Amino acid sequence: MTTEKVLEVFEKTGALLKGHFRLRSGLHSDCFLQTAVVLQYPEIAAQLCKELSKQVDYEVDVVIGPAIGGVIIAHEVAQALIARAMFGEKRNGEMILRPGFQINSGDRVLVVDDVLTTGGSVSKLIDLTRQHQGEVVAVAFLVDRSSTPIDFGVPQFSLANINVSTYHPEDCPMDKAGVPIVEP
Ligand SMILES: [Zn+2]
């Protein structure tokens, strides 16, 4: 599945909007990505995650993602790789395992998320895995929209790459062109 094909699926389901948007950060952007919108279709979620899992040529015991965005990804990728699916939750800035989940010493762990932006949650999950003596074999994302490459120190996979242009309001070319802005 090519990046184009993946993004076509996102656009068709309304998960990828093109236009002129005011982001929560106050910056303006030419596209807006909401993976939950594409993941509401279980068949498409399964298909995308199966495609992603094909890239991950490792034996994996556990697939873990950060709540909420990474929960479905972890579940569907684990289904494809025949592994356990877990998620981490943020509590007071810390990433913790939900009570009952267990990463065992020596477990081979794949860390996943829906979108790679800054990688903060994924880095925390890598640390959490290592605290439990798990071995992080790779990280994988449906969409990589990071503006500068992020090195997690392990192999990294993504199904699609997308360049999202963001602008400060005073430099925004769409404002200069008089394009109405939308708050998604
Ligand atoms: Zn603008």
* Residue at token pair 């996979």: 157
183 falls within a domain: no
Asked if the model's pLDDT at residue 168 lies above 90, the reply is yes
Mean pLDDT, rounded, of the chain? 95
30 falls within a domain: yes
Instruction: Count the domains in the chain.
Output: 1
126 falls within a domain: yes
181 falls within a domain: no
Alpha carbon of 178 to ligand 1 centroid (Å): 9
- Residue 171, pLDDT score: 95
Name the band, by pLDDT with cuts 50, 70 and 90, for residue 97.
Answer: very high
140 falls within a domain: yes
95 falls within a domain: yes
Question: Burial code of 12-43, b = ≥16 C-beta within 10 A, e = fewer?
Answer: ebebbbeebbbeeeebbbbbbbbbeebbeeee
In the chain, where does DSSP find H-type helix?
3-13, 35-39, 42-55, 69-81, 120-131, 173-176
In 56-141, where does DSSP find H-type helix?
69-81, 120-131
Alpha carbon of 180 to ligand 1 centroid (Å): 8
Find the domain containing 159 and state its range.
3-176
Alpha carbon of 34 to ligand 1 centroid (Å): 19
Round to whole Å and give the CA distance between 111 and 66. Answer: 9
Compute CA 179 distance to the chain's CA centroid, rounded to the nearest angstrom. 30
CATH at 93: 3.40.50.2020
Name the band, by pLDDT with cuts 50, 70 and 90, for residue 99.
Answer: confident
163 falls within a domain: yes
Facing residues of 91 across strands? 94
- Residue 49, pLDDT score: 98
Q: What is the mean pLDDT of residues 84-106?
A: 94
Asked if the model's pLDDT at residue 148 lies above 90, the reply is no
Name the band, by pLDDT with cuts 50, 70 and 90, for residue 124.
Answer: very high
12 falls within a domain: yes
Instruction: Provide the 8-state DSSP code for 148.
Output: S
